[in-house]
Amino acid sequence: MCGIVGYTGADTAKRILIEGLKRLEYRGYDSAGVALERTSAAGSCELDIVRRTGKVAGLESELAHMDPDSTCGIGHTRWATHGRPSQANAHPHVSCDGRIAVVHNGIIENFAELRTELEGRGHRFASETDTEVLAHLIEEAYAEAGDLMAAVRVACTQVVGAYGIAAVCADEPGVIAVARKDSPIVVGTGASGSYVASDVIALIDATRDVVVLEDGQFARLAPEGITYTDADGAPIEPAITHIDWDIDTAEKGGYPDFMLKEICEQPRVVRDTLVGRLGPNGELDIDELGLTFEELNLIDRVYVIACGTSYHAGLIAKNLIEAWARIPCEVEAASEFRYRNPIITPSTLVVAVSQSGETADTLAAIRDARIKGAKVFGITNVVGSPVARESDGVIYTKANKEIAVASTKSFIGQIVSLTLLAMLLGQAKGKLTTGQIRMLFHELGDTAAQIQWILDTQREAVHRAALACKDAQSALFVGRGMGAAISYEGALKLKEVSYLHAEAYAAGEMKHGPIALIDPGFPVIAVTTKSPTYDKVVSNLKECEARGAMIVAIATEGDEDIKQIADHVVYIPPVRDAFSAITASVPLQLLAREVAVMRGCDVDQPRNLAKSVTVE
């Protein structure tokens, strides 16, 4: 979950590393550091290691006085897994002699035994991290091989776990050795040198043509270019990926924070995700499907596996898949799925949902599912990501880069993509006609304008509701049907960005325990859109009202009756219940952000969280 960047060439490495780390800071921000090559007075190459706790801005200040002439270096921004956030645990980590430095994204599962062995051979450790064993393993291998790239390959054979690695050695100036297994690594060559990063966003100014390393692949970066090898050192020719999105997608564009910017981009996400998906005869057209209609027709069970926000998108998909395709669908936390021996047959479809496409738990689960014979379908925002590559088919959410840690526009893209999948399964099963598909598709497309209406007209209502919630200690989110599914996401958003405790329940469950929490002024946020269960939700809210709850209702435009029991009402346009989660999620996102801002929280980088969870 950490950010890696490296550069070697003719330009100023310090500047490039800092710029790259700032763009990668969404991946982790408890500490940051760099290793820069420097020519000593005697003419030899030395490594300057600078590390600092906190955000990259602090590291930048630390580097301001340093010699700008270095043209090769590696950098890292950290989200702690092994070892508390501290200067000693910050990357890069170095060998005993200080001649080798390593940055790492991932987790070394056998680090404890490796550390014991290395200490027994005289190595001295300066941190609590798993990463430091890599520096010492490379040091030992380099003493034998005398070649950095060969030493990295040897070290990788000794570790168990996930890694994206970049290493430099003072004895090989200008060379960066790179390796990857289960953690993302992207490399590319620009006009002034060669680059490596854990995310393409750090390279976009330098090149649009990049290589996403596969597991077990290695790269040697030098100023003149990059060479690629497999685990045996044999040369390979990797695939080139062209990046067609602009760096503006990673800038705030005048908004006060990325979270608000990305909430406001959601109408475009809906439109972009749907472009080209409906054929002229009313059939769905998904080029990346990878499964024939005949194969889809044989599916008799669906598992949606995901984590966090993506899990909540799966809850929405369950309702749609069972309603439209009449196939049993279960939603599983990816971290649990692989350990409970689920019933999987060749007619099982496993749908893996991951914004980044690199979530470790989700990847592990789909690999197990494939071994057991299931078909695997991916829903992700990142072209060429591990989830995309390891699935039989994929739908890309077309959300472009999402910077804020709390997912908003990617969530909407996931719901739209999963809705398409549910329609596709319904079509393959013969449960939906082409006429019904065409009607549903156009109504789904209409949600883009409906989201825009919410953004244009309901911001003040959200602001007033947030003022009423900001000083609370806890909150409850309730709804029924689709409203219950979206309530779970609303509660998670509030927790993520405002640190205000929140829980979600199906509204009918309130009287089975949660209603005991309610006292005067207690916030209850209810999804009360017009649906078959509307009257039931209203009845549940009256029980809360009778106990003095402060009620915020997400209601359908024109519903005046709800004002009789709700203290605050935020409206969404009338919409088919199947699509209500798309529109109802927007005011809940806005509410979470408003409360967080009022409480003085960093909405883009909440404490203890990182954007991509690449460790289990």
Domain co-membership, 431 together with 447 = yes
Domain co-membership, 446 together with 484 = no
Q: What are phi and psi of 506, to 5 degrees?
A: -60, 130
Per the residue annotation, which of 2, 72, 264, 329 is the catalytic one? 2
Q: 298 vs 369, 451, 471, 567, CA distance in Å?
A: 17, 36, 53, 50
Q: Does 2 participate in catalysis according to the annotation?
A: yes
Domain co-membership, 77 together with 175 = yes
Domain co-membership, 203 together with 70 = yes
Structure confidence at residue 310 (pLDDT): 92
Domain co-membership, 235 together with 356 = no
Sheet containing 501-506: give its strands across: 501-506, 474-479, 523-528, 550-556, 568-572
Give residue 567's identity as a one-letter amino acid code: D
Domain co-membership, 341 together with 197 = no
Domain count, the chain: 3
Structure confidence at residue 395 (pLDDT): 83
Task: Please give, one letter per residue, the 3-state secondary structure of 260-328.
Answer: HHHHHCHHHHHHHHHCCCECCCCCECCCCCCCCHHHHHCCCEEEEEECHHHHHHHHHHHHHHHHHCCCC
CATH of the domain at 369: 3.40.50.10490
Domain co-membership, 172 together with 262 = no
Question: Measured between alpha carbons, how far is 214 from 183 in angstroms, rounded to an integer?
Answer: 9
Answer whether residue 603 is part of any domain. no
Domain co-membership, 446 together with 502 = no
Domain co-membership, 334 together with 379 = yes
CATH of the domain at 225: 3.60.20.10
Structure confidence at residue 614 (pLDDT): 47
Answer whether residue 48 is part of any domain. yes
Spans of the chain below 70 pLDDT: 1, 28, 245-250, 253, 287, 383, 610-616
Domain co-membership, 297 together with 235 = no
Answer whether residue 615 is part of any domain. no
Answer whether residue 612 is part of any domain. no
Per the residue annotation, which of 375, 398, 493, 611 is the catalytic one? 611
Answer whether residue 608 is part of any domain. no
Q: Does 156 participate in catalysis according to the annotation?
A: no
C-alpha closest to that of 162 among 2, 53, 336? 2
Domain co-membership, 32 together with 109 = yes
Question: Measured between alpha carbons, how far is 9 from 72 in angstroms, rounded to an integer?
Answer: 7
Question: Which residue, 244, 278, 308, sits at the end of a domain?
Answer: 244
Question: Which residue, 392, 417, 451, sits at the end of a domain?
Answer: 451
Structure confidence at residue 611 (pLDDT): 60
Answer whether residue 356 is part of any domain. yes
Answer whether residue 616 is part of any domain. no
Question: Measured between alpha carbons, how far is 151 from 161 in angstroms, rounded to an integer?
Answer: 18
User: Contact 213/224 with Cβ under 8 angstroms?
Assistant: no
Question: CB under 8 Å to 599, separation ≥6 — which residues?
Answer: 470, 498, 499, 500
Answer whether residue 611 is part of any domain. no
User: Which burial class, exposed, middle or buried, applies to 322 when counting CB atoms under 10 A from its CB (0-12, 13-18, 19+)?
Assistant: middle
Question: Measured between alpha carbons, how far is 139 from 580 in angstroms, rounded to an integer?
Answer: 57
Domain co-membership, 226 together with 264 = no
Range of the domain at 566: 458-598
Q: What are phi and psi of 166, to 5 degrees?
A: -130, 130
Question: Measured between alpha carbons, how far is 394 from 376 in angstroms, rounded to an integer?
Answer: 9
